[in-house]
């Protein structure tokens, strides 16, 4: 596998963090969103997410095959994509981004029905799909919370 695929699948090496690499990747993604991505228009944010999904599916497939595992903990590009979905068009306040981060982690860890069914897709698609589902669920709940506020 190429070095670039490994870097992408591990979100610049954050997947090698010894404790909770998925949470670390989600946190770093939330920071990147707050500092940079929130300033992009909706179509640009959506484009980043789509590119990340397809690139993540490809690199997750390659790296999981190399490791001989179905869903290795080192692969965290799925958390990156899911976190961006949860924060899509989120106001760039610390509180909103923090709530979006927490909600995404809850949905990603618990994987309630039907999110848990999404990881049944083959290879990198399944690695990515359940986090996409968690991101959508977290994003919807975040929007409801922000609306009530």
Residue boundaries of the structural domains of the chain: 42-148
pLDDT more than 90, % of the chain: 89
Q: How far apart are CA 125 and CA 123, in angstroms?
A: 5
pLDDT band at 2 (very low <50, low <70, confident <90, very high): confident
Look at residue 149 and tell me whether its pLDDT is greater than 80.
Answer: no
How do residues 78-98 score in pLDDT, each as one tens digit?
999 999 999 999 999 999 999
pLDDT band at 1 (very low <50, low <70, confident <90, very high): low
Range 17-21 average pLDDT: 97
Among 104, 77, 93, smallest CA distance to 14 is for: 77
Neighbouring residues of 100: CB distance < 8 A, sequence distance ≥ 6: 30, 83, 86, 87, 90, 138, 139, 142
Q: How far, CA to CA in Å, does 50 sit from each of 53, 80, 85, 88?
A: 5, 12, 10, 12
Instruction: Return the pLDDT at 39.
Output: 95
Q: How far apart are CA 68 and CA 66, in angstroms?
A: 5
Global pTM reads 0.95
């Amino acid at each position: 596998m190429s070095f670039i695929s490994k870097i992408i699948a591990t979100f610049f090496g954050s997947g090698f963090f010894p404790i909770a690499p998925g949470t670390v990747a989600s946190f770093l993604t939330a920071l990147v969103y707050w500092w940079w991505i929130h300033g992009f228009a909706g179509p640009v944010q959506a484009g980043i997410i789509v590119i990340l999904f397809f690139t993540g599916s490809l690199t997750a497939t390659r790296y999981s095959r190399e490791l001989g595992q179905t869903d290795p903990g080192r692969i965290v590009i799925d958390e990156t994509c899911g976190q961006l979905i949860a924060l899509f068009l989120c106001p760039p306040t610390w509180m909103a981004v923090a709530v979006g981060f927490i909600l995404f982690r809850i949905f990603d860890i618990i994987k309630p029905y039907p999110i848990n069914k999404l990881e049944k897709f083959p290879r990198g698609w399944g690695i990515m799909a359940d986090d996409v589902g968690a991101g959508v669920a977290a994003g919807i709940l975040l929007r409801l919370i922000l609306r009530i506020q």
